[in-house]
Amino acid sequence: MESSNVLVPLTLASSAALQMGSGGRNNPTLVCAPIMAESVDKMVINMNKAKQGDADLVEIRLDSLKSFNPSNDLKTIIKASPLPTLFTYRPKWEGGQYDGDEKKRLDALRLAMEFGADYIDVELQVACEFNDSIYGRKPENSKVIVSSHNYQDTPSAEDLGNLVARIQATGADIVKIATTALEIADVARIFQITVHSQVPIIGIVMGERGFMSRILCPKFGGFLTFGTIESGIVSAPGQPTMKDLLHLYNLRRIGPDTKVFGIIGKPVHHSKSPMLYNEAFKSVCFNGVYIPLLVDDVANFLQTYSSTDFAGFSCTIPHKEAALKCCDEVDPVAKSIGAVNCIIRRPTDGKLVGYNTDYVGAISAIEDGLRGSHNSSNTADSPLAGKLFVVIGAGGAGKALAYGAKEKGARVVIANRTYDRARELADTIGGDALSLANLDNFHPEDGMILANSTSIGMQPKVDETPIPKHALRSYSLVFDAVYTPKMTRLLREAEESGAKIVTGLEMFIGQAYEQFERFTGLPAPKELFRKVMANN
């Protein structure tokens, strides 16, 4: 695979292309709501919804209409639209729904232009023919977007550059390229093309691995991004809602010098971290954005996005151990645990520094649970001292829990599906090992503590549990690192069995305090964190 770490070593603070916008906007990137409906009446309703949702323009997908009378319907739509209009009549051969006569399709787009459409989207394959046909008759206020969609992959930087040149050669006012991400590193090539473009450009990478292209386009000078009026109704894979774009990711506040943070994981879209950190960044006026990053190869990701603008990352399942190996420096505690969940790119030299904030978050939440309080007590002795502490899972989070419990004087037992991994971790920290299957009948004493560090029971597999209910009777406290859902089957059954429970939410909030402070250099807004998580 080609090395792409040269692709994003950029800061755009000096870019003349992006002036400070009006009304508190830090960028001129437009938010466009795709309007797909079977009837013109429904389109008019949805255009008004887009206006209420604060979109800048609407994309009218004519190919979604069940019946279409160009001269009447186009006039109705343009007259009724409360926002500027972009007309797209996408044929099947370019991923759309239209499967009729090409001449009729292009005639309809020409007519839309005559009637006052602000933008027309024409595919590269027919752009020269279309532009020749309107030569000299194009209304002054109408712009032609020439688009190319690739549903297979994202070409090389060189091929993308050639593609932009071909689109420009058609006489396009605006270039649009939509590609597909096979891995998250592909997005860097679109960012490179966007930031160096001399003409207005829309650069989108489709699919979940391309998601950040939709959020970060204002940082790199993209002309517009698409946001749906409601979730689930998308015109291309991976589109966020307008609400998320504007209120979760604060898109209009993203500028060329905005720092990028995110959560590296697989899966990752269930994470509540973006909600938490973006709200906190906004509350302290910190110029950063925090996004979900679906990463397959953590080393390649960190190498590709090597600029100091990509300033810090949370790290979750399954990358905590692999991420440690990618760091230039590792905090001694994280080194002892053998896993990192927080990576900071040092602004002075771009070096990656790894930390583990999991163990503090989890252990203090468990101690508070044992003490029956949310306020950490500073008594010298931990309520974990001398307790038998059973950890399910031997991955990064399991290592953090085992290390933290051992530090507090607990006797630690590791239970894992593969016994050898449990044995390896137990030997490292000085504990005992079990296979997960043997945990069902393991009760050498009463009053033990159980901590699940695996993803068993996480959405969408909420009916799963790592241990049967009858085996929970020997535990005085059960902790689950899973926090979506907050009340897992394991915790529900533990509570029914008489144990105290500590949710993964407590650990999540605890570990997030330290990460926020490392990301921003500012004290964590703890009350806000609790409020955000209580409401979501």
Provide DSSP, 480-521.
ES--SSSS-HHHHHHHHTT-EEE-HHHHHHHHHHHHHHHHHS
Instruction: Provide CB contacts within 8 A for 295, sequence distance 6+.
Output: 184, 264, 265, 266, 268, 301, 319
Strand partners, 502: 479
Q: Residue 495: how many CB atoms within 10 A of its CB?
A: 14
The answer to whether 358 is a known catalytic residue is yes
Residue with the two structure tokens 């069995």: 497
State the catalytic residue, choosing from 320, 387, 399, 406. 320
Among candidates 212, 220, 221, which has minimal Cα distance to 264?
A: 212
DSSP character at residue 144: E
Q: Reply yes or no on whether 320 is catalytic.
A: yes
Residue type, 4: S
SS (H, E, C) 154-213: CCCHHHHHHHHHHHHHCCCCEEEEEEECCCCCHHHHHHHHHHHCCCCEEEEEECHHHHHH
Q: Contact 154/205 with Cβ under 8 angstroms? A: yes
**Rounded distance, CA 273 to CA 312, Å?**
13
* Cβ within 8 Å of residue 230, ≥6 positions away: 49, 241
Alpha carbons within 13 angstroms on the beta-carbon side of residue 386 total 4
Q: Which of 56, 121, 186, 358 is catalytic?
A: 358
Q: What is the H or E stretch that residue 420 is in? A: helix 419-429
Q: Residues 154, 180: contact at Cβ < 8 Å? A: yes
Cα–chain center distance at 269: 6
Q: Any idea which residue has 């650990």 for tokens?
A: 507
How many whole angstroms separate alpha carbon 283 and alpha carbon 297? Answer: 33
User: Is-contact 126 157, C-beta < 8 A?
Assistant: no
**56, 63, 176, 186: which is the annotated catalytic residue?**
176
Q: State the number of CA atoms in the 13 A half-sphere of 467 facing the CB.
A: 34
Contacts of 435 (CB under 8 A, 6+ apart): 415, 416, 417, 418, 419, 422
Task: Find out whether 509 and 529 touch, Cβ atoms under 8 Å.
Answer: yes
Alpha helices in 372-418 (DSSP H): 396-407
- The catalytic residue positions are 149, 176, 320, 358
